[in-house]
Homo-oligomer: A and B are copies of this chain.
Amino acid sequence: MHDADAALSVVPLTGIGEVQPGDDLPRKIVSSLEAAARHLENGDVIVVTQKVVSKAEGRLVAVDAGRPGAKVELVERESVRVLRRRGELLITETPHGFVCANAGVDLSNVAEGYAALLPQDPDRSARRIRAGLHRLTGSEVGVIISDTFGRPWRRGLTDVAIGCAGIAAVIDLRGSVDANGRELVATEVCIADELASAAELVMGKDRRIPAALIRGAPSSWFRPSSVAAEVIRPHGEDLFR
């Protein structure tokens, strides 16, 4: 699939600063790279956090966090179904099909009195950023929009992909043979989530690093793609919905 010696590098993009509705994220990403004397290359992957995408797209709503129930009402409005409820924490399904805490509604790193909602169509957001980066640099890159989700059974949050463009979300190794010539069954790897997690490691949560560059992904991973189509598990397939 790729050179045995192929290493990946994961580089935080610094200096992007505060993002406002209408901001041009591709331009901010390119400026950050240039300030670090770096340039996009074909086959790079750019991971951008949901929060700055939501801000740039104006997905901010006023919420009176002081009024009891205000946040829960907002979460219910952003959900199609509530799976679990414990106090103010709701695990819900969003219209996109994501199952996550509080419908992905986020109050941290947002101006006081406001919450950031998920992008309406994160795959579209990724495609737009990818097109913008291509326009500015001529490079064909993969773009992943990441968010921080919890999961059952394991403590701690990890970053996953909520949208992608130009890089596979899931690669399918079914039909490949293992080292003993035995056919591998059902080995579908969600590389988009793994790339989002790798990017989180250089971003941290308490600092303004909303994007990362990953270099070294194998060329076979680059193709038209969609988290909605490849990662969201249809209800009928899911043993836990």
Contact = CB atoms under 8 A, between A and B. Distances in A.
Interface of A: 1-2, 4-12, 14, 18, 36, 84, 86, 91, 97-99, 107-112, 148, 151-160, 169-170, 173, 176-180, 182, 184-185, 187-191, 193-195, 197-198, 200-202, 204-209, 217, 230-233, 237-241
Contacts of A111: 180
29 contacts: A1-B204, A2-B204, A4-B207, A5-B14, A7-B11, A8-B10, A8-B201, A107-B182, A108-B182, A109-B178, A109-B180, A111-B180, A112-B180, A153-B240, A154-B160, A154-B193, A155-B231, A156-B170, A156-B191, A157-B190, A158-B197, A159-B194, A173-B205, A178-B205, A178-B206, A179-B207, A184-B205, A191-B201, A194-B198
B11 A230 contact: no
Nearest to A176: B206
Nearest to A101: B186
Contacts of A188: 155-157
A5 to B, nearest CB: 7
Interface of chain A, main secondary structure: loop
A189 B200 contact: yes
B189 A206 contact: no
A61 to B, nearest CB: 16
How often does this chain occur in the complex, in copies?
Answer: 2
Contacts of A110: 180
A202 B232 contact: no
Residue of A11, A156, A195 contacting most chain B CB atoms (<10 Å): A156
A54 to B, nearest CB: 15
Given A182-B107, A193-B158, A207-B179, A198 B153 contact: no
A8 B208 CA distance: 18
A154 to B, nearest CB: 5
